Amino acid sequence: MKKSVFFGALTVASLAAGVAGAATLDDVKARGELICGVNTGLVGFAAPDANGNWSGFDVAICKAVAAAVLGDPSKVKYVPTSGQTRFTALGSGEVDLLARNTTWTFSRDTDLKLQFTATNYYDGQGFMVRKDSGVTSAKELDGASVCIQTGTTTELNLADYFKANNMSYQPITVDSNAEGEQQFLAGACDAYTTDASGLAATRAAFANPSDYVILPEIISKEPLAPAVRQGDDQWTDIVRWTIYGLIAAEEYGITSANIDELAKGTDNPEINRMLGTEGNLGAMVGLDKDWLVNAIKAGGNYGEIFAATIGEQTPIGLARGLNAQWTQGGLMYAPPFR
Amino acid sequence: MTTAQDASGPTGFRLSQLIYDTRYRSITIQIVVLFLVMAGVGWLVDNVIRNLNDLGKDFNYSFLWQRSGYDIGNALIPYNNDMTHGRAMLVGLINTLWVSFLGCITATFLGVIIGVLRLSKNWLVGRLMTIYVEVFRNIPVLLWILVAIALLTEAAPSPNQYRVNAQTGEAGASMVLESVAFTNRYTAIPSIHFDRTLGSLDTALAPISLDFLAIVIVLLGSYFVNKMLVNRANRVQEATGVRPPTLWKSLAIWLIPVVVLLFALGVNPEEPQLKGFNFTGGTNVSNAFVALWAGLSLYTAAFIAEIVRAGILAVSKGQTEAAFALGLRPSRTMRLVILPQALRVIIPPLISQFLNLTKNSSLAIAVGYLDLRGTLGGITLNQTGRELEAITLMMLIYLVISLLISGGMNIFNNRVKLKER
């Protein structure tokens, strides 16, 4: 017994736990709980409140998936992950789903053996500076000290951007958004760079948000997408189509307010298929008939989630922009439910 | 049948002897334990290989030759984001060695002073040193590093505050002696500039400044000439009993050639200037580095002080009394009689303090000083996703550094330990 404990500990130390079985869905059902990797704290995307309840745009994805799979959006365990630990946490099976404003890139998709499900936020990297510094464009940042979160794509974009513009800078590496915020406020860096949505969320949490400006330049494409481990196609499909379900729900006008009404049956066959009154799409991914009903009830459709967590009515105040429905000139486009 | 008979004979060997015979038992146990350990290791390796296979990952180090793509703020050798991950690792390694080297020197210096002062007959000094030791060694070193960085970032003004306010004409913060600026990012100090420089020699690792090389050569020359002078003085003293005065000659040998060389090279300090966002021109010593250095030194110094105190107390009181009886003053007694004998007690535990300091330097990650842990084990690991490779390589490098330090210090220990003839 002792020996097995000893070897067990050694194994954990050597490989951070074995790879979880291929069938994540079975694991989650058996556990009765979805383990979701989220940000350590980024207001609007994922942050715990004073009572330890998590909320935010990324957290809403966790809740929707938990509702689709387990029928209860509260059955989620949130594991805060840093930019450095997130992929190890997912790869080692510590979390079932990584909903942590993570950029979808080629090498992460292939070499890191991740599976990005569907983009839930189209973002780009920006810079924030103090208003009294007088800087109005990122091109004026030559020689500046820039705070940057380590282990992120933004770190590489920053190097590329300054090189392309023939400028120099002093990187100040920080481990989390909280540390970056603190260093930036203390004046240890002239500019703070991360995804523009993250900058807006960070600025909203400042004591005097109006003393800081986000520069107009967006220097990269950052499609943020929840990710799962490669090699479990069923689980990938579940997460992907839950997100598409939320997006499609907005397109077809299914909201948390009218969903009970619509779930009784409508004249629109697409809505009927989604909500399980016609055919049985849920069974095709190993879930109940009303999986999407539960998912949408959890926090509303994509538009409702956006408005409640990061939209223009919130302190973060992000416009829909690229994240509007394709019918509104945005990029949000769910494939047909058929 | 024959064998059975032999085995049961009085001189024969029975299997049960492996357990019950004390001559063989220890060997049996050792072999069994060895097999168990090997099986355990084999099982772990097999587990790793199988899990890597399940994940579809391979184990290779080719990423070290790929473009790194990220920048490092405090590189001691030339580096930019077009260079490889291997080069970034090297930058980190040199940063690790640099902060450990400086840390070991300051920790030893402080430790010896504090250890000796703790034994002081002056009540106040002795108690103050006791407080120092107890406070510093009983609080984790990470906290000391964080305290240091917090002090540096919060207390010092930002570079911008050194600027003269354009609207009000109000002068900003002033630089110490017009040449050193403490800011919340770094301390800007003057760098050495040569008007008539000899240029530099390009090597694969880093360009070597020929100016510094020339200075080192001249100093080495002075050292040898001075040694000859001292040897001659010793010979004269042994022959005649009168030591010829050497002080002025020594000073001249040490100073004149270097001063002449520096004058010929046209040395002058290049003072930092506030340009744009930051100071340029001088050398910027980052706060992260200073905080790490200070934290490690102050913490380890407390341990070294205790080791020094133990070493001194290990030398019997009779030695002090004998030295006093010979008329040596307390300071010379300490320097010539006690410390040389104490060293043989001090050095072995000192080695492990140096090893601790070097390994603790990996806490650099907490203040964003990019050492080996920050480059190879941090950014490179994250950007390439090669956890197992990066961590294994990093462990190997730390192991090699530790063994080298320990080997070097053992050689030193053999030289200073009591020679029994």
- Residue A163 forms contact with B (CB below 8 Å): yes
Statement to judge: residues A60 and A29 lie in one domain: yes
Q: Of the candidates A151, A186, A220, which is a domain's last residue?
A: A220
- Residue A284 forms contact with B (CB below 8 Å): no
A156 vs B70: CB contact, 8 Å cut-off? yes
| Residue B110 reports pLDDT greater than 50 | yes
B44 vs A14: CB contact, 8 Å cut-off? yes
Statement to judge: residues B35 and B128 lie in one domain: no
Closest CB from A145, A150, A158 relative to B277: A145
Q: Which of residues 109-128 of A touch B (CB under 8 A)?
A: 111-113
- Residue A21 forms contact with B (CB below 8 Å): no
- Residue A143 forms contact with B (CB below 8 Å): yes
DSSP per residue, B209-233: EHHHHHHHHHHHHHHHHHHHHHHHH
B51 vs A150: CB contact, 8 Å cut-off? no
Q: Is B347 left (phi over 0), alpha (psi -120 to 50) or beta?
A: alpha
pLDDT at A15: 44
Statement to judge: residues A42 and A86 lie in one domain: yes
Sheet holding B186-189, edge to edge: B181-182, B186-189, B283-286
- Give A145's contacts in chain B (Cβ within 8 Å): 185, 277-278
A14, A174, A184, A193, best to mutate vs chain B, most B CBs in 10 Å: A14
Over range B219-229, report the average pLDDT: 92
Statement to judge: residues A82 and A133 lie in one domain: no
Structural domain includes residue A19: no
How many structural domains are present in chain A? 2
Q: Give B294 to chain A, closest Cα distance, Å.
A: 19
When mean pLDDT is compared across A175-179, B37-41, B62-66, B171-175, the lowest value belongs to B171-175
Statement to judge: residues B105 and B38 lie in one domain: no
pLDDT at B363: 93
Q: Is B181 left (phi over 0), alpha (psi -120 to 50) or beta?
A: beta
First CA to last CA distance, chain A: 53
Statement to judge: residues B408 and B313 lie in one domain: yes
Contact (Cβ atoms closer than 8 angstroms) between residue A224 and residue A119? yes
Structural domain includes residue A335: no
pLDDT at B125: 94
Average pLDDT, chain B: 87
pLDDT at A2: 46
pLDDT at B7: 47
Nearest Cα neighbor of A244 from A103, A327, A120 is A120
| Model confidence band, residue B52 (pLDDT cutoffs 50, 70, 90) | confident
pLDDT at A14: 43
Closest CB from B44, B81, B277 relative to A159: B81
| Model confidence band, residue A18 (pLDDT cutoffs 50, 70, 90) | very low
Nearest Cα neighbor of B365 from B348, B350, B380, B378 is B378
pLDDT at A228: 95
| Residue B249 reports pLDDT greater than 80 | yes
Contact (Cβ atoms closer than 8 angstroms) between residue A160 and residue A239? no
H or E stretch including B163?
none
pLDDT at B26: 87
Contact (Cβ atoms closer than 8 angstroms) between residue A144 and residue A169? yes
Report how far residue B267's alpha carbon sits from residue B284's, in angstroms, rounded to the nearest whole number.
Answer: 20
Statement to judge: residues B23 and B78 lie in one domain: no
pLDDT at A331: 93
Task: For residue B46, give its domain range.
Answer: 18-52
- Residue B57 forms contact with A (CB below 8 Å): yes
Q: Where are the alpha helices (DSSP H) in B266-386?
A: 287-314, 317-325, 330-332, 339-360, 372-374, 381-384
Statement to judge: residues B316 and B389 lie in one domain: yes
Residues 6+ apart with CB under 8 A from B367: B145, B146, B149, B287, B288, B291, B292
* Angle at CA of residue B404, ends B370 and B408, nearest 5°: 125
- Residue A213 forms contact with B (CB below 8 Å): no
pLDDT at B165: 65
Structure tokens at A199: 């900058």
How many structural domains are present in chain B? 2
Q: Of the candidates B52, B73, B95, which is a domain's last residue?
A: B52
Statement to judge: residues B22 and B134 lie in one domain: no
Taking CB atoms within 8 Å and a gap of at least 24, the contacts of A54-58 are: A54/A78, A55/A309, A56/A309, A56/A310, A57/A120, A57/A121, A57/A305, A57/A306, A57/A309, A57/A310, A58/A99, A58/A100, A58/A101, A58/A120, A58/A226
When mean pLDDT is compared across A17-26, A28-37, B16-25, B369-378, the lowest value belongs to A17-26
Q: Give A74 to chain B, closest Cα distance, Å.
A: 30
Question: Where residue B421 sits, what CATH number does that domain have?
Answer: 1.10.3720.10
Report how far residue A326's alpha carbon sits from residue A320's, in angstroms, rounded to the nearest whole number.
Answer: 11
Task: For residue A321, give its domain range.
Answer: 24-122+224-328
A150 vs B54: CB contact, 8 Å cut-off? no
pLDDT at B171: 65
Contact (Cβ atoms closer than 8 angstroms) between residue A203 and residue A158? no
What pLDDT digit, counting tens, does each position of A271-324 carry? 999 999 988 899 999 999 999 999 999 999 999 999 999 998 998 888 898 999
| Model confidence band, residue B166 (pLDDT cutoffs 50, 70, 90) | low
Q: Of the candidates A220, A247, A266, which is a domain's last residue?
A: A220
Q: Give B179 to chain A, closest Cα distance, Å.
A: 20
Q: Give B136 to chain A, closest Cα distance, Å.
A: 26
Structure tokens at A231: 């090699």
- Residue A267 forms contact with B (CB below 8 Å): no
B-chain residue closest to A107, CA distance: B384
Report how far residue A276's alpha carbon sits from residue A282's, in angstroms, rounded to the nearest whole number.
Answer: 7
Residues 6+ apart with CB under 8 A from B106: B293, B297, B301
B43, B52, B62, B185, best to mutate vs chain A, most A CBs in 10 Å: B185
User: Reduced to 3 states, what is the DSSP secondary structure of residue B155?
Assistant: helix
Closest CB from B69, B184, B278 relative to A186: B184
What pLDDT digit, counting tens, does each position of B290-312 carry? 999 999 999 999 999 999 999 99
Structural domain includes residue A105: yes
| Residue A54 reports pLDDT greater than 90 | yes
pLDDT at B19: 82
Statement to judge: residues A273 and A257 lie in one domain: yes
Contact (Cβ atoms closer than 8 angstroms) between residue B152 and residue B184? yes
Question: Where residue A285 sits, what CATH number does that domain have?
Answer: 3.40.190.10
